[in-house]
Amino acid sequence: MSSFPDTGDAFIEYLQIEKNASPYTVKYYLNDLETFFAFLKQEGIVNLQEVDTKVVRLFLTTLYDKKLSRRSVSRKISSLRSFYKFMEREEIVQINPFLHLTLPKAKKPIPGFLYMEELEKLFEISDTTDPIGQRNQAILETLYATGMRVSECQGLTLDSIDFSIGTMFVKGKGRKERYIPFGRFAEIALETYINEGRKQLFKNTAKTNAVFLNARGGPLTVRGIRLILNKMVEEAAITVHVHPHKLRHTFATHMLNEGADLRTVQELLGHENLSSTQIYTHVTKDRLRSVYMNSHPRANDQNSDQRGEDSE
């Protein structure tokens, strides 16, 4: 009989070595295992082979009693399904009690995004004559130009940016790597910051190749970037709720609204599955109506007249 900690450690090692899971992914799996093991201990279950569908349903009930969202519950069950699949492979258990457990699908909310006039307010906030302002402007332009995650932005190094061809090399979710192009506005902001502001922030004692530095000359953290963006939103007096990930939503929405195909946006965002990108296929009501009015043969008199002329 394997102890819970030993089995859990073996699974985490499997994720790190065989699956090459990122530290963030491992952290979530570990948290989900600890929740499950604590539940088993409370129920007096000491052998993982004792876990059957009845135990699983009871565990599910305790999760809902804690008022967890369907998304959080689904993630925990998915983690434990993978855990038991691993234990089956290692012949620690014979049956995966999570295998056929069905859960109500969590409704995916339509991502919020910013309109251009709201973005312009953000772009005008930073004092680009100041090192901190140059850095903040470069962060904002980079996030909107590339659609990358805040964690990916934080991980950028000087040698990951190729100004000669306007691309960035990004290490993304699940340690997957990709190249992302960037445009002229981001190029100007980055070159200004790297050639001026970063040199002033950089301290000789801080040996770092990170692009974005804090006031002490060390690499900015993910939390630091989020705080910077939150402060910029506050100063811009934007009334809608804006979180850093909304810039990623905005990038995807604007690309699709301007005619980019779904597969290209999927690749730019670093999504493994197309279904993850499809949530961005919403368009603004104004654009929907504009496309409809200009395209439908009987949407207005002008379209109807044009069809008549074309048939003559």
The catalytic residue among 171, 178, 243, 245 is 245
Is 70 catalytic? The answer is: no
Integer-rounded Cα Rg, in Å, for the chain is: 25
Q: Which residues contact 48 (CB under 8 A, 6 or more apart)?
A: 2, 4, 7, 40, 87, 92, 93
With H, G, I as helix, E, B as strand and everything else as coil, classify residue 33.
helix
Is 245 catalytic? The answer is: yes
- Is the Cβ–Cβ distance between 98 and 77 less than 8 Å? yes
Is 280 catalytic? The answer is: yes
The catalytic residue among 76, 84, 135, 149 is 149
For the CA atoms of 57, 61, 63, 67, the dihedral, rounded to the nearest 10 degrees, stands at 150
Is 173 catalytic? The answer is: yes
* CA 44 to mean position of chain CA atoms: 39
Q: 167 has which bridge partners?
A: 162, 181
| Strand order across the 177-181 sheet | 161-162, 167-171, 177-181
Measure the CA–CA gap between 140 and 156, rounded to whole angstroms: 14
With H, G, I as helix, E, B as strand and everything else as coil, classify residue 15.
helix
Measure the CA–CA gap between 234 and 243, rounded to whole angstroms: 11
At 278, list the tokens: 């499809």
The catalytic residue among 75, 85, 121, 173 is 173
The catalytic residue among 76, 198, 248, 254 is 248
Catalytically active residues, by annotation: 149, 173, 245, 248, 271, 280
